[in-house]
Structure 1
Amino acid sequence: MPPAPLTLPTPTLLDRTIMAVAPEYAARRYRARVAMTFAGQYAGAKSNKTALKAWRTFAGSADADALGDLPALRARSRDLRRNNPIAAGAGRTGRAHTVGAGLAVRSTINRDILGLSVEQANAWERKTETLFDLWARSKSCDVSMKQNFYQLQGLIFDAVWDSGDCLILRRKPKTAAVVPLALSVIEADRIATPTDKQADPDVRSGVRVDDDGMAVAFYVLHDHPGDFVSQTAFDYTEVQAYGKNSGERMALHVYQKHRPYQTRGVPELAPIIEILKQLDRYSEAEIMAAVVSSFFTVFLKTNDNSSLPSGESVPGMSTGADEVVMGPGSVMSIGSDEDVVTANPGRSNSNFDAFFSAIVRQIGVALGIPYELLIMHFTASYTASRAAIEIATKFFAERRDWIVSDLCDPVYEWFVSTAILSGLIEAPGFFESPARRAAWLGTNWIPPTGLVLDPVKEWEGDKAGIDLGATTLEEVTLKRTGGDWKAKTEQRSREHAARVAVRLEPPVLGVKPEPAERREPAPRDTKRK
């Protein structure tokens, strides 16, 4: 069927009047009208369609679209996290597979730029990693002395998931520490615009930005605005994002950016808050219906007044003057002039599971968590379950890269600079040359180990990848078990030597294993043959 021909707009009375007076101007005006009429051909942008007539949108900036809704979004996201099973499970799943028990650092300095030998680079990396791990495992790295750095990573992930963003301040520890560095985690609600700054266009929801949208200062409340006990909840402190003299970063604003010039983060559950709440209400209604359906109440009719008084139940049931309460196994007595009626409310919604699963799949799509992983129920084939895990791994890796970029790498930079100033490590040119500074700060953060559905198949695949040169022992170790592959190799060598010594394993060809125990040499035969 050929497409319908385009219909040009009919000249109006005003068009015809102008045409008679100024034909050239009228022609330009008419051409402009035609161009505007056929400027766009996207059906989704039309307002004359029935499905789209009531759909009114506003093309606001990133801040105009989000800042006014953030308080309500945060409160509702936290309520869902506390009370909704799907929201709570999604948050725990995202945290477990993004940061797990905490991302550990592996230093990977650029020895070519720094002019170091392999031995010198390895020695520096090992020393720095050890010092950082000592600092990260101590609770002195937390200004509140409640968590170590690995635990703080999970706390910060949860704060950003629920609230959209949080602020990390560089502080000094309150007790002796490996290096004089501590972190202070500020919840999103405490970053707010002071009353006297409300008219300042450069202050966006507690963040002062420059002309390029870069955050230059933060206004931080002394206490959470929802803390009813605090007397200083509305007192502010202005925190500079960068030191005025040193230029060093003093605060980390951790959040995922989805649009240019986006000043504040949006909670992860924001697109699905309504659907989660509606599903929660639907589930509660079905649970209540199932409970009511389990009740079976019998009303007894008697011909005399020797039985229980009318409207009274057997022990265990409570009724009022005008109220009859149903319950499991309840027996109610009624008046002699009334008939016997059994109350057995039956209700079975066979569509609940299908509907619930369909909605949860939509929730999983919005959060980047496959349905099987979201509900922790793997009933499909190995191939399908494996594909779901691989897809989820990509989403988790994306979130992990953001955590590393906004939190882990900057904190590691704070640690290295503080350790240098404290004389614990040496890094020539660190403060003088940006290129050498970046070369000293190369890192690789060890992710949580992945899920293994069929260990035999997956380890065989890893071995094939190593044999082909497509992957390395280090990559496989990080993906499967975590830890340091070099340390595991050394441990495996010692174990092999011990098992060879007691003849539980054959020796490796061409390698003489070191005996597990030093044996006394056999006595020499001094007799002459």
Structure 2
Amino acid sequence: MNLIDKTIAFFSPKTALNRVRSRKELDIINSGYDNHGASSKKKAMQGWNVGAGSVLEDIEMNIPTLRERSRDLYMGAPLATGAIKTMRTNIVGAGLRLNSQIDADFLNMTTEEADAWETNVEREFALWADSINCDAQRMNNFYELQQLAQLSWLQSGDVFTLLPVMPRMGMPYDLRVKIIEADRVCNPYNTTVIDLDGKLVNGVEINSFGEVIAYHIADEHPNSTVLTSINNWKRIPKFGANSGRLNVIHLMESERPEQRRGVPVLAPVIESLKQIARYSEAELMAAVINGMYAVFVTTETKENGSGLSSISEDEEIDGDDDSSIEIGNGTVHFLEENEKIQESNPGRPNPNFDGFVTSICRQIGAALEIPYELLLKHFTASYSASRGALLEAWKMFKMRRDWLANDFCQPIYEEFLAEAIAKGRIYAPGFFTDPMTRKAYCGAEWNGPSQGQLDPLKEVNAAEKRVNNGFSTRSSETVAMGNGDFFKNHRLRTLEEKVRREDGLIPEESPPTETKAKVQEDEEEEVKEE
């Protein structure tokens, strides 16, 4: 009881009792999260003051800073560079390849007709995709553009792609792919992140329903110091007003509803990566300095005295800076009168460095969905543990691969297919008149690099059992094992075996002997006849 309750209890015990009972009931009401994560009474929570900002305050206004820091880490922090390149290599690799999969039943096509149509489409697509003419800048083919888009997406949080029509000599297709860096999509003339009426957010224009209707793209990078002319912004509708054609492809990962721009993948671990980079640089410098151990000689004369400078003036890098002292490998220093050295033992290299960095890398890997073994490319655990780490990482790689295939590869392929059909190079009746027919013709799979095997023999045995038990197909397992197209492999193997047999490298097969079951059937037939 506090002083007030004691005073009341002296004059009216019943009233004081009611006050105490009410206070206990109030404590019961303040239960659940109020006693845990939402508590404002616990000392551990009292200093945790956060605001409930909208997606504009929490994300959109911070994206430019996050983007700049993410790129800086990619350029200067080995761990960040490795994380992003690990994702790029496993998600895209050499590029996601087209595997046309049309709905033959809906299109009333036989299996042979569908296979012939798909083969022809893949051949036509390869004519366009394998050439640098598919790139508006004529620098990369389609598969290299996938790598560029994925890398930029991870670094900057999002990336944009335009699909201009640009005729070129020697290329029957006019569709081009133009990748736009995230910085170029911004509010005109570097105004605030959000305009006054709230309909333009970081260069993304929305209507009253929140639908994205257009993007505002600068002709040149807004922060460039070598602008060739006055920078201008163009408003490009997301879809064509008359055709409904997709004009702008926007690759991003949404974290919250009503989010318009993407967040770099390194955003949650920017601070950890920067501190690890600083720590690594400090340890490296300390180890280098410790390796340059020198001998110091004291003398009472000044003839040989040279102070603390251990190298000649010709070898000095910043001799004009009086605050820096340069040392060399295995040098001898002569000290002047009244000078002496206080020797220290820095203890480098630090034996705890590796364990500490590994511990932080585990946390960074958890945030990026990359097991630290894969993040550091250091597999020292058992086969089961290493395989478990790879399988866990592969879930994330497959998810992001599906995003890239659905949001980048498939829309571009559909635009290519529409042009090929319109020009008569591919026959597809009903493509432009019936949406269901168009969807049936546009069916496709995009196959990328395989998962890889720690023990190839075990993986092959498992694949064989999946096929024999009907859990999978030979085509699927061929792709999963990273060996291309089953039907192409089958045709090539048939030709190889035929040539080897004709050259006598394989003996002619003897006619098959009767099995016990066949012999038993014949005997039973003879008994019936008798």
* TM-score bucket of the superposed structures, by smaller chain: 0.7 to 0.9
How do residues 126-137 of structure 1 correspond to structure 2 at under 5 angstroms?
126-137=119-130
Q: Which residue of 247, 264, 267 corresponds with 1:267?
A: 264
1:186 partner amino acid: I
Shift of 1:249: 1.4
Q: Which residue of 235, 249, 252 corresponds with 1:252?
A: 249
Contact 1:296–1:343, Cα closer than 8 Å, also in 2: no
Query: Does the alignment pair 1:79 with 2:72?
Result: yes
Residue correspondences, number: 483
Aligned to 2:456: 455
Aligned to 1:152: 145
Contact 2:283–2:349, Cα closer than 8 Å, also in 1: no
Aligned to 1:216: 213
Shift of 1:310: 5.7
Helix, strand or coil at the partner of 1:182: coil
Contact 2:306–2:333, Cα closer than 8 Å, also in 1: no
Shift of 1:382: 1.4
1:216/1:36 CA distance change after superposition, 3 Å: farther
1:378/1:307 CA distance change after superposition, 3 Å: same
Aligned to 2:369: 368
Q: Which residue of 237, 261, 265 corresponds with 2:234?
A: 237
Query: Does the alignment pair 1:488 with 2:481?
Result: no
Shift of 1:360: 0.8
How do residues 399-418 of structure 1 correspond to structure 2 at under 5 angstroms?
399-418=400-419
For 1:242 and 1:45, the matched residues in 2 are separated by 45
2:466 partner amino acid: G
For 2:427 and 2:448, the matched residues in 1 are separated by 28
1:91/1:309 CA distance change after superposition, 3 Å: closer
Q: Which residue of 165, 173, 194 corresponds with 2:166?
A: 173
Shift of 1:154: 0.4
Query: Does the alignment pair 1:112 with 2:105?
Result: yes
Greater alpha carbon shift after TM alignment, 428-437 vs 54-63? 54-63
Helix, strand or coil at the partner of 1:213: coil
Contact 2:80–2:273, Cα closer than 8 Å, also in 1: yes
1:145/1:494 CA distance change after superposition, 3 Å: same
Q: Which residue of 15, 30, 43 corresponds with 2:36?
A: 43
For 1:34 and 1:42, the matched residues in 2 are separated by 10
For 1:42 and 1:424, the matched residues in 2 are separated by 69
For 1:363 and 1:60, the matched residues in 2 are separated by 26
1:328 partner amino acid: N
Q: Which residue of 185, 188, 192 corresponds with 2:182?
A: 188
Helix, strand or coil at the partner of 2:334: strand
Shift of 1:418: 1.1
2:420 partner amino acid: A
2:185 partner amino acid: I
Structure 1 unaligned residues grouped into runs of 5+: 1-9, 11-29, 512-529
Shift of 1:425: 1.0
Structure 2 unaligned residues grouped into runs of 5+: 6-22, 513-530
TM-score normalised to structure 2 length: 0.84
How do residues 117-516 of structure 1 correspond to structure 2 at under 5 angstroms?
117-176=110-169, 177-194=171-188, 198-232=195-229, 234-302=231-299, 307-308=304-305, 313=310, 325-335=326-336, 345-506=346-507
For 2:54 and 2:509, the matched residues in 1 are separated by 66
For 1:509 and 1:411, the matched residues in 2 are separated by 54
1:244/1:510 CA distance change after superposition, 3 Å: farther
For 1:321 and 1:261, the matched residues in 2 are separated by 56
Contact 1:364–1:374, Cα closer than 8 Å, also in 2: yes
2:401 partner amino acid: R
Greater alpha carbon shift after TM alignment, 314-323 vs 150-159? 314-323
Greater alpha carbon shift after TM alignment, 139-148 vs 187-196? 187-196
Shift of 1:497: 1.7
Contact 2:94–2:448, Cα closer than 8 Å, also in 1: no
CA RMSD of aligned residues (A): 2.8
Shift of 1:121: 1.1
For 2:85 and 2:178, the matched residues in 1 are separated by 23
Contact 1:272–1:363, Cα closer than 8 Å, also in 2: yes
Contact 2:157–2:262, Cα closer than 8 Å, also in 1: yes
Helix, strand or coil at the partner of 2:453: coil
Contact 1:447–1:482, Cα closer than 8 Å, also in 2: no
Shift of 1:506: 4.5
Shift of 1:488: 0.6
Shift of 1:214: 2.4
Identity %: 38
For 1:322 and 1:35, the matched residues in 2 are separated by 66
Aligned to 1:53: 46
Helix, strand or coil at the partner of 1:111: coil
Shift of 1:221: 0.5
1:225 partner amino acid: P
2:385 partner amino acid: A
Shift of 1:338: 5.9
1:56/1:178 CA distance change after superposition, 3 Å: farther
Shift of 1:484: 1.2
Shift of 1:302: 3.5
For 1:348 and 1:73, the matched residues in 2 are separated by 33
Helix, strand or coil at the partner of 1:252: strand
TM-score normalised to structure 1 length: 0.85
2:105 partner amino acid: D
Contact 1:466–1:472, Cα closer than 8 Å, also in 2: yes
For 2:163 and 2:153, the matched residues in 1 are separated by 18
Shift of 1:349: 2.1
Shift of 1:346: 3.9
For 1:44 and 1:258, the matched residues in 2 are separated by 22
Shift of 1:314: 6.6
For 2:397 and 2:506, the matched residues in 1 are separated by 40
